[in-house]
Amino acid sequence: MRGLAKSMLTTLSVFMRPPVTRNYPNVHRPLPERDRAFPLLLWDKDIDEPFCTGCHACERACPVECMTVLMKDNPNHKSVGGTSSRRKIIDKFWIDYARCMRCNVCVEVCNFDAIAMNNTWSGHETAVHDRKDLVMDLPQLLALSRGGAIQEWVPVLGKANEA
């Protein structure tokens, strides 16, 4: 009998609480600062080209092999009268977000700090009807960085900075 009374008291106390409702599509919970969603490429605003040189380090280190990288000679290199010191540059880059497990290995092995984990809500909300739509190409991977909408983690300073 005591157990029944105790459970009814618990039920009534929860019943009297105000509801906790989030207007989800319009209002998001704040993301943790060190949270990571999916990888994307960073844009070098000083030279106006991607940081990625297409060295294949991320592709080789990826445990699920969800990346494909192709490189080419940089048309803006100093040897041909340009302003860039990078001899090679990325030509094509694909990441299959359907296979990516967000392990952060690609970011760690990148020698040029060209990859960052997307720490915005757009990096989490990737629901699509067809899995083929989760294969991101070079313009899609560079879009947030070129627009300045992402924050990258800078380990030297130990805090988040605007990309």
Query: What CA–CA distance (Å, rounded) separates 22 from 116?
Result: 29
For residue 128, the one-letter residue type is V
Integer-rounded Cα radius of gyration of the chain: 22
Please give the average per-residue pLDDT across 3-19, as a whole number: 90
Cα dist from 101 to 37, 46, 113, 137, whole Å: 9, 32, 20, 18
Quick one: pLDDT at residue 3? 92
Is 68:149 a contact under the CB 8 Å cutoff?
no
Query: What CA–CA distance (Å, rounded) separates 89 from 72?
Result: 6
Task: Read off the pLDDT of residues 15-48 as tens digits, 9 standing for 90 and up.
Answer: 888 888 878 778 888 888 788 889 999 998 888 8
Task: Read off the pLDDT of residues 64-122 as tens digits, 9 standing for 90 and up.
Answer: 999 999 999 988 888 888 888 888 999 999 999 999 999 999 999 999 999 998 877 77
Every domain of the chain and the residues it spans: 32-152
DSSP character string of 101-115: ----HHHHH-TT--E
Class of domain 32-152: alpha beta
The model carries a pTM of 0.73
Quick one: pLDDT at residue 152? 52
At 11, phi and psi to the nearest 5?
-60, -45
Quick one: pLDDT at residue 85? 86
